[in-house]
């Protein structure tokens, strides 16, 4: 027969079950206004939609948005150490859109992104790099250099590259400014990223 003390201990352990469970891996998205959900309720921004998609698929993960509207890669570099918290397993770096709009020299953008990657690597945080495809109105040589910097960084640092954060987000899936995704566009981004995050999480588990 189980003693009363043992029954109380079992009851206490059962009640504390969630607290004793292994913590979910955290994926932090270091980004700009697209990550911050400019023009959208937080629940409709792509990080929230990504969380919903992954949870629905059974993935035990916490998506944490760390987006600041207007941030360039220089802004991301300035805050990476405190915006990407210590419990982060994977960081999706989704920066560069404002560099593109401001005509920042791609060499400067590349240097900033490389510094971000280096800092995260030193903290043993795995990096996924999200690129961007410049619009046709941008000068051809500038656009080519800008597009290539993401692939070059991914190759140099052996990173997973998601080539275009706004892939599939056409004019009808953007807000009136023609830049930011609307709610449907945010869902397109989340749908595209979900398998990338899932694969990265499996890779992180195999290395742990």
Q: Smallest Cα–Cα separation from 132: which of 34, 40, 39, 29?
A: 34
Cα gap 23→69, rounded to integer Å: 30
141, 177, 206, 208: the active-site residue: 177
Chain centroid to Cα 77, Å, comes to: 15
- 180 counts as catalytic: yes
Decide if 141 is catalytic: no
Alpha carbons 165 and 105: distance in angstroms, whole number: 20
Clarify whether 33 is annotated catalytic. Answer: yes
Which of 33, 71, 83, 99 is flagged as catalytic?
Answer: 33
**Strand order of the sheet with strand 160-162?**
62-67, 26-31, 88-94, 126-130, 160-162
Query: Rounded CA gap, 64 and 6, in Å?
Result: 40
Tokens representing 64? 């944490």
Tokens of 140: 């051809």
46-56 and 183-207 helices, crossing angle to 10°: 60
**Exposed, middle or buried by CB within 10 Å (0-12, 13-18, 19+), for 186?**
buried
The Cα 30–Cα 20 span in angstroms is: 29
Instruction: Tell me if 25 sits within 8 A of 198, measured CB to CB.
Output: no
Please give the positions annotated as active site: 33, 177, 180
């Amino acid at each position: 027969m189980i003693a009363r003390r043992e029954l109380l201990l079992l009851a206490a352990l059962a009640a504390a079950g969630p607290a004793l469970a292994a913590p979910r891996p955290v994926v932090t998205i270091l980004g700009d206004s697209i990550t911050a959900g400019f023009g959208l309720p937080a629940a409709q921004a792509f990080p929230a939609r990504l969380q919903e998609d992954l949870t629905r698929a059974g993935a035990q993960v916490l998506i944490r948005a760390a987006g600041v509207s207007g941030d360039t890669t220089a802004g991301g570099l300035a805050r990476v150490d405190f915006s990407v918290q210590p419990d982060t397993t994977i960081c999706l770096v989704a920066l560069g859109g404002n560099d593109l709009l401001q005509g920042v020299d791609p060499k400067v953008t590349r240097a900033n992104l490389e510094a971000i990657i280096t800092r995260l690597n030193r903290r043993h945080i795995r990096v996924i790099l999200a690129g961007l495809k410049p619009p046709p109105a941008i000068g051809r040589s500038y656009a080519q250099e800008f597009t290539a910097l993401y692939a070059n960084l991914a190759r140099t640092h052996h990173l997973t590259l998601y080539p275009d954060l706004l892939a599939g987000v056409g004019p009808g899936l953007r807000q009136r400014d023609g830049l930011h995704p609307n709610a449907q566009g945010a869902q397109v981004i989340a749908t595209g990223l979900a398998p990338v995050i899932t694969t990265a999480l499996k890779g992180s588990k195999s290395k742990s």
